[in-house]
Structure 1
Amino acid sequence: MTAPPITTIPFFSPELFEQDREALLETVRAIGTGPEQTFILGERTACLERELAGRTGAREAVACSSGTSALTLILAAMGVGPGDEVIVPAFGCAPLAATVVDAGARPVFADIDPVRLTADPAAAESLITSRTKVLLAAHMFSVMADMPAFRDLADRRGLRLIEDSALAQGGTLRGRAAGRWGDAGVYSFVQVKTFGMPGEGGMVVTDDTALAADVRMLRNHGQDGVHRFVHHRIGHNSRFDEVMAAFQLHRLPGLDARLARRAEMAARYSRRLAPLAGRGLVAPPEGGDGRFPYVYTVLTERRDALRAHLAEHGVGAHVYYPRPLPAHPAFAPYARPGGSWPNAEDAARRTISLPLYPNLTDAQVEYIADTVCAFADTQGDR
């Protein structure tokens, strides 16, 4: 094993924006002292929307206050409400189900594909009823869901399709950007995401201009942007911050380089860890269509022991979703009686993620890989 790092390697980097410190401070000063005093939904936000629409090929991009809020706005714009059902993955982040519940609808949990760890389209189709209004597919860790299958399913069954790409910006599948397979897609800009920032924020992308207009109205208390204090619908406060919009515009030119660096590190991990498959640790394959470098997640029956071993050697690791969504007290009342989600339960028990962010050094990546390999060597066949 290579020499241990002088300091602990955290799972979340505390220095993601260190090189942008001066730019951020100048942005705060410029907007705070500017004569127009526009702090939300100004020209910088509009410019960011145009840039991301152009980058993804979407007709419309609508900035809002978070990825969760983006889901909320889309569901409201689609008219989802009491009596409706939305099919969601059984494994993933709480907003996948919580936003459906908040809309007054029922989340219906579909088991996941055991390899992709994203919702299984066949499982989703088996759950469609006369009440089903929307399919909500979500990308997971660093793998896109089977969006061609979900697109086909939505079209065949006359359903709306939402693509939760909160963590997948930069991913593509069959040449189409993540977020562009659904009737609407979602991005998140929370700091650890691939296009993260030092704050909360999100974006809705869509080709449906009517849907985009509704989302714009709903994000600002139901106002249409023309007549202030005229509220056409019950909306939300989900407006985008001008400081963060300017900061994202500053960071956008470097996004591809940061994504490439993440991908390079993920490939290093995969090359080093692939031989461990016979010793109880399954690493994702190197590269491939439909992959994006967000986090690097492996599967192991000895997750707790691996996490302790990494911590003992100065490496932070993270377990994202230690139980499937239907097993949470908040969502159990919505789960179908007698339902089972074996693949989701297996993923919740076995997944663990390693550090993956652009400012990791090659030496740190090799040290982390060495540490995982050493763990496999010491565990033997246990």
Structure 2
Amino acid sequence: MSWAVYPPAGNAVVLQPSSFDVAGLFPVHQLIWLQSGTAALAFCLRQHHLRHSQISQPEVLIPAYGCPDLVAAADYAGYIPRLVDLAEDTSEYDSGAFKAAVNENTLAVLAVNFLGMAADVGVIRSMLAESPNVSIIEDNAQWFPQPDRPVTTEADYITFSFGRGKAIGLLGGGLVACREQPLLLDVKAPKIDRLWPVKVRLYNALLHPALYGVVSRMPGLSLGQTRYHALTELAGMDPQPQAVLAANVERYGQFDAWREVCFDEAFTNWPHISVPGFSPQGTPAANRGRLLRYPLLLADSEQRDAVLASLSKAGLGATAMYRHALPDIAGLEGRFDRTTVPNANRFADRLLTLPLHAGVTRAVIERITATLARHLD
């Protein structure tokens, strides 16, 4: 067992100011800054219900594999979350399940960018041709735009998260970009976390594999555990992380994607492995932007768990991501029928993610691919 453990995601937070124009990435949108990505989603849902208050029990369609914060945002906003199964071997909605889920109470759809693979908002819009009042909210909690890959203008709302381990990780904060002037909502004033600078320095230090290895083995911390947490309020974003956002966005834009290329080359035509967002011809799909983590789908849960155990023992930063589809996430047990989302269950059973952050060296990538080869050859 390795005492050094690489974190699964996360880059050091830059604390210097920058003149980079973040608003310039959103030339046609109104921007609203909130305390989290969950709050950003809830804000969008509340906004749209205010515009269509005649629907007393609004529903929102959510992909059945994803972060439980999607459900928390729906709950806070007063929507009924309706889970929709995925298309086989992808993070996209299954078209048949999607069309069957739309009804007279459907008021919103969450189009989730998974690990940097964007949902096809155009296809979703076409499936809503007979439901013009339904809003599409593009959730980009795991991705952020760059000058060479800007945001789209197809969705009604776009949200981002700046939590720990996100594409732009500031230990907190969220952003809404909307096409229309937002209506007034009860949003509380930002809470100033006086310990935020201390937390950032600790976070930056803990990205070192030796320190992360110590902390990850401390009992009771449950690092990386996925469970449902209720959202209790909407508040503005703490001005401290907001003040250094520009510098971190600038650094994000300069990040070299060579790690993705190494994994792409390594896993081309491997048996028993498929790479979401990567074509059999060896090219990234059109919807793939910069990845937060590198996704693999193994043959089944037994193979995935065996590979994950070996990579974890070696401290190589691999994870099963959420591990379960939403019906089986801690805190959501009994709320949803897992038998209606078989593809999402299989996706959760087979998914393995590999680290792509700045701490990952070529030697780490070689160790990861060698470990996989031992299990799959």
The TM-score bracket by the shorter chain reads 0.7 to 0.9
Q: State the Cα distance separating 1:82 from its structure 2 match.
A: 4.9
Matched, 1:361 2:333: no
The SS at the match of 1:282 is coil
Deviations 1:312-352 (A, max 9, x none): 3331211222221123464455536x851111010111111
Matched, 1:153 2:150: no
> C-alpha separation between the residues in 1 aligned to 2:329 and 2:31?
33
Specify the alignment match of 2:186 in structure 1: 218
State the one-letter code of the partner of 1:283.
V
Q: State the Cα distance separating 1:242 from its structure 2 match.
A: 1.6
Specify the alignment match of 1:294 in structure 2: 292
Q: 2:178 aligns with which of 197, 206, 213?
A: 206
The SS at the match of 2:169 is coil
> C-alpha separation between the residues in 2 aligned to 1:298 and 1:60?
36
> C-alpha separation between the residues in 1 aligned to 2:87 and 2:27?
29
> C-alpha separation between the residues in 1 aligned to 2:267 and 2:43?
41
Q: Which has the higher contact order (CA 8 A, sep 6+)?
A: 2
Q: State the Cα distance separating 1:201 from its structure 2 match.
A: 0.7
Q: State the Cα distance separating 1:138 from its structure 2 match.
A: 1.0
> C-alpha separation between the residues in 1 aligned to 2:173 and 2:308?
31
The SS at the match of 1:157 is coil
Contact 2:311 / 2:317 at 8 angstroms: preserved in 1? yes
Deviations 1:158-205 (A, max 9, x none): 111111111121379xx97446431101101113111222x2011001
> C-alpha separation between the residues in 2 aligned to 1:294 and 1:344?
20
Q: 1:280-319 counterparts in 2 under 5 A?
A: 280-284=272-276, 285=278, 286-292=283-289, 293-300=291-298, 301=300, 302-319=303-320
> C-alpha separation between the residues in 1 aligned to 2:264 and 2:137?
31
Specify the alignment match of 1:230 in structure 2: none
State the one-letter code of the partner of 1:218.
D
> C-alpha separation between the residues in 1 aligned to 2:144 and 2:96?
26
Q: State the Cα distance separating 1:273 from its structure 2 match.
A: 1.6
The 3 A distance-change label for structure 1 pair 103 and 10 is closer
> C-alpha separation between the residues in 1 aligned to 2:91 and 2:45?
24
Contact 1:180 / 1:205 at 8 angstroms: preserved in 2? no
Could you list the structure 1 runs, at least 4 aligned residues long, displaced by more than 6 angstroms after superposition: none
The SS at the match of 1:283 is coil
Deviations 1:116-169 (A, max 9, x none): 312234421211111111111212123111211112234541111111111121
Q: 1:249-288 counterparts in 2 under 5 A?
A: 249-258=246-255, 261=256, 263-276=257-270, 278=271, 280-284=272-276, 285=278, 286-288=283-285
- Larger Rg belongs to: 1
Specify the alignment match of 1:370 in structure 2: 370
Contact 1:325 / 1:331 at 8 angstroms: preserved in 2? yes
The SS at the match of 1:88 is strand
Contact 1:10 / 1:316 at 8 angstroms: preserved in 2? yes
Contact 1:70 / 1:186 at 8 angstroms: preserved in 2? yes
Deviations 1:287-314 (A, max 9, x none): 3321121111111121110011112333
The 3 A distance-change label for structure 1 pair 329 and 368 is closer
Q: 1:222-233 counterparts in 2 under 5 A?
A: none
> C-alpha separation between the residues in 2 aligned to 1:103 and 1:194?
25
The 3 A distance-change label for structure 1 pair 252 and 335 is closer
State the one-letter code of the partner of 2:99.
E
> C-alpha separation between the residues in 2 aligned to 1:328 and 1:311?
21
State the one-letter code of the partner of 1:362.
R
Matched, 1:189 2:193: no
Contact 1:164 / 1:179 at 8 angstroms: preserved in 2? no
Q: State the Cα distance separating 1:5 from its structure 2 match.
A: 9.3
Counting helix residues as a fraction of each chain, which structure ranks higher?
1
> C-alpha separation between the residues in 2 aligned to 1:53 and 1:123?
37
The 3 A distance-change label for structure 1 pair 191 and 331 is closer
Q: 1:333-344 counterparts in 2 under 5 A?
A: 334-335=335-336, 340-344=340-344
Q: State the Cα distance separating 1:271 from its structure 2 match.
A: 0.9
| Contiguous gaps of at least 5 residues in structure 1 | 28-43, 222-234, 378-382
Contact 1:87 / 1:136 at 8 angstroms: preserved in 2? yes
Q: State the Cα distance separating 1:58 from its structure 2 match.
A: 3.2
The 3 A distance-change label for structure 1 pair 368 and 180 is farther
Specify the alignment match of 1:229 in structure 2: none
CA RMSD of aligned residues (A): 3.0
Identity fraction in percent? 23
State the one-letter code of the partner of 2:285.
G
Contact 2:22 / 2:246 at 8 angstroms: preserved in 1? no
Deviations 1:27-50 (A, max 9, x none): 7xxxxxxxxxxxxxxxx9xx99xx
Matched, 1:96 2:94: no
Deviation larger for 57-66 or 78-87: 78-87
Contact 2:64 / 2:85 at 8 angstroms: preserved in 1? yes
Specify the alignment match of 1:243 in structure 2: 240
State the one-letter code of the partner of 2:275.
A
The SS at the match of 1:298 is strand
> C-alpha separation between the residues in 1 aligned to 2:322 and 2:5?
24
Matched, 1:162 2:137: yes
